[in-house]
Amino acid sequence: MFRLITGIPGPSGFGSASTAEQVTQGIDATALTAIITGGASGIGLETSRVLCKRNVHVIIGARNMEAANEAKQMIIKDNNKARIDIIKLNLASLKSVKAFADHFISLNLPLNILINNAGIMFCPYQLSEDGIEMQLATNHLGHFYLTSLLLDKMKETAKSTGIEGRIVNLSSVAHIHTYYRGIRFHKINEKSSYSDKKAYGQSKLANILHANELSRRLQAEGANITVNSVHPGLIMTNLFKYAAISMRILKFFSCILWKNVPQGAATTCYVALHPKLKGVSGKYFVDCNESAPSRLATDEALAKKLWDFSNKLINAAQTT
C-alpha cells in the first residue's frame, strides 16, 4: 500500500506512478505483432498507442468499429509510422470470436503477443447470446475461446522466429471479492442470487486461473510462450459506466489510490514487452511488479476445473 500511494518503484524499477511509455522506453519491437482486445478505448487505447510507438504491428479487436476507426486515426495522427488494423470482435458472442480468429488467421500474419484486455464491469444481470451470464461470458469465456483459437498461430510464430510469445490477461484486485468457493459452477446463470460485484470478481478470478492453467500446459509441452495476468489499478474509464456515481464517490474518498490512463496501461505494456520478463510465466503483476493473488487464484484444482467447465460451455453453445 505504501508503494501504491507514494509511487516508489519496486524491484522492477517501476511502480504505481510509472507510465506505459516509461516502462517501454528504448524497446524496439519492430518484429512483433500484437492483438489487443478492447484496444480502442480506455487503457486498451493507451496500450495500443504505446505499442505502436514501440513499432509493434497492432491489431485491435473491437465491438464498436466506428469508435475503433476513430482510435486508429488518432494513433496515426500522433504517429504516422504506426502499423495498426482493426477487426470486429464481440467477446459476448462465441460466433463473433470465431469470426475474428478466422479473419486474423486468413491475413497470414505472425502473432507474438495477445493482450486480453476488453471487459465489462458491474452490469445488471443479463445473459449473452450464447446463454451465459454476461460478465463471465465477456471477461472470461470470450477470451478463453479466443486464446484457444489463436494458440496454434502463436506457437507457430514462436517456433519459426525464435521470439518468445506472450499472453497477458487483464484481471483485477477485485478477483478477491467473488462468490463462495470462487466460481459457482453449479449455478453460473442463477438470477436470484446474482451480485454484479461478485460476478465481476468471479470473472476476474477466472482470468487469473485461465492464465495460470494455460501457463502450466504450455510449460509442460515446452512451448516458447509465457502467460501472465495483471491488475492495472484503479482508473476511471468507461468500464465504470454501470456504477459511475458510486465510483466517483469512492474516488473522492480514495483519490490517492487512483491512476491516470497512462499509468493504468503501464503494467500491461511492461508484461507484454519488457525484456526483463523473458521466461517469466504464470505470475500476477501489480504496478509492474510481481505480486501475490488470492488463495483461490493459485488453486490448481480450481483452475483445471474451470478449464474443463469453460470448454463444456463452449461446446454446449456450439451445439444449440
Q: Is 242 tagged catalytic? A: no
Q: Considering the candidates 194, 242, 270, 284, report the single residue annotated as catalytic.
A: 194
User: How do residues 69-99 score in pLDDT, each as one tens digit?
Assistant: 999 999 999 999 999 999 999 999 999 999 9
Q: Judge whether 127 and 188 are in contact, CB under 8 Å.
A: no
Which neighbouring-strand residues pair with 258? 234
CA–CA dist 168, 286 (Å, integer): 13
Q: What is the pLDDT confidence band of residue 59, given thresholds at 50, 70 and 90?
A: very high
Beta strands in the chain (DSSP E): 33-37, 57-62, 83-88, 113-116, 165-170, 225-231, 234-235, 258-259, 284-286, 289-291
What pLDDT is recorded for position 250? 44
Give me the chain's average pLDDT, please: 93
What pLDDT is recorded for position 85? 98
Q: Judge whether 231 and 207 are in contact, CB under 8 Å.
A: no
User: How do residues 105-155 score in pLDDT, each as one tens digit?
Assistant: 999 999 999 999 999 999 999 999 999 999 999 999 999 999 999 999 999
User: How do residues 277-296 score in pLDDT, each as one tens digit?
Assistant: 999 999 999 999 999 999 99
CA–CA dist 59, 38 (Å, integer): 10
